Structure 1
Amino acid sequence: MRAVTVSTLLLVFLHSGLALQIQCYQCEEVTHDCSTQEFVVNCTINVQDMCQKEVLVKDDGIHYRKSCASSGACLIASSGYQQFCTGRLNSVCITCCNTPLCNGPRLKKRPQPSAAITPTAPRLPVLSLYACVLVSSTLC
């Protein structure tokens, strides 16, 4: 029942013209990771719902292609090239993502703080508590 409600709301949202427009980086076979403001584009609403990133390893170095894409085309391309994604010479890796500017550089993970510095105060499981209240209210 909940899935039907969510699906219906999503369809109404999309058909009402209120669909979100994703932004992606866009460049064509450059030898630098074109993840700066000058390469940001607005993708076509209701058509291009993903960002695509291609990383090609060639004789003269690593080349990048970035663009907006439709989810179907991007997922087909990425799965078709999976066997060629080796990281070695002539490697081609295609990835797809669906959040704004997600085809930019990978964010470096922050190092975990050491146990000596981390405070040991207990944390309340607020999200779990909220979920429990929500579920129990729907069961009553």
Structure 2
Amino acid sequence: MRRCATLLMIALTAGMSAALQIQCYQCEDVHQDDCSSPEFIVNCTVNVQDMCQKEVLVMEDGIHYRKSCASSGACLIASSGYQQFCTGKLNSVCITCCNTPLCNGPRHKRRAASPACRPSVSRYAGPLLGLMQLYLCSH
């Protein structure tokens, strides 16, 4: 019985580690094109980069995009730090994080977010709270 439980734990752990690599779009300072075509797809570092990050900058010459793989901690800290600058107007900087394959690609129409899913600085007090919000708001 104990051996069976050990084998089950090993199988579950192996399956979990394989699931921790995601693919994201990656580009640096692309002007106008949102770099969501197949040539921009990369494999993120296993067990390190567990999220996709997307930066949208509104500048005088148009919209600029930066996309990459990121660790959850770094991405959530960056997105909460720039939240006040995400206005959609000139010189706006919006940083978003997501944790499903290719989620930093083109925007899709989605249903309106519930009040609990609207971002607020207090909800990003730490990476764990940010991950909880991402999970709750994506389901």
The answer to whether the superposition gives a TM-score over 0.5 is: yes
Structure 1 position 18, deviation (Å): 3.1
**Greater helix share, structure number:** 2
In structure 1, the gaps of 5 or more residues are 1-8, 111-140
What corresponds to 2:24 in structure 1?
Answer: 24
Structure 1 position 46, deviation (Å): 0.2
Q: Does 1:108 align with 2:109?
A: yes
| TM-score between the two structures when normalised by the length of structure 2 | 0.66
| TM-score between the two structures when normalised by the length of structure 1 | 0.66
Relative to structure 1, the CA distance from residue 18 to residue 78 in structure 2 (aligned partners, 3 Å threshold; closer, same or farther) is same
Pairwise mapping of residues 1-140 of structure 1 onto structure 2 (< 5 A)? 13=13, 17-31=17-31, 32-109=33-110
In structure 2, the gaps of 5 or more residues are 1-8, 112-139
Which amino acid in structure 2 is aligned with residue 106 of structure 1? R
Relative to structure 1, the CA distance from residue 84 to residue 16 in structure 2 (aligned partners, 3 Å threshold; closer, same or farther) is closer
C-alpha distance in 1 between matches for 2:47 and 2:13: 11
Moved beyond 4 Å, runs of 4+: 14-17
Q: CA RMSD in A?
A: 2.0
Structure 1 position 19, deviation (Å): 3.9
Structure 1 position 49, deviation (Å): 0.1
Indicate the percent of aligned positions where both proteins have the same amino acid: 80
Aligned length: 100
1:37-82 Cα shifts (integer Å, max 9, x gaps): 0000000000000000000000100000000000000000000000
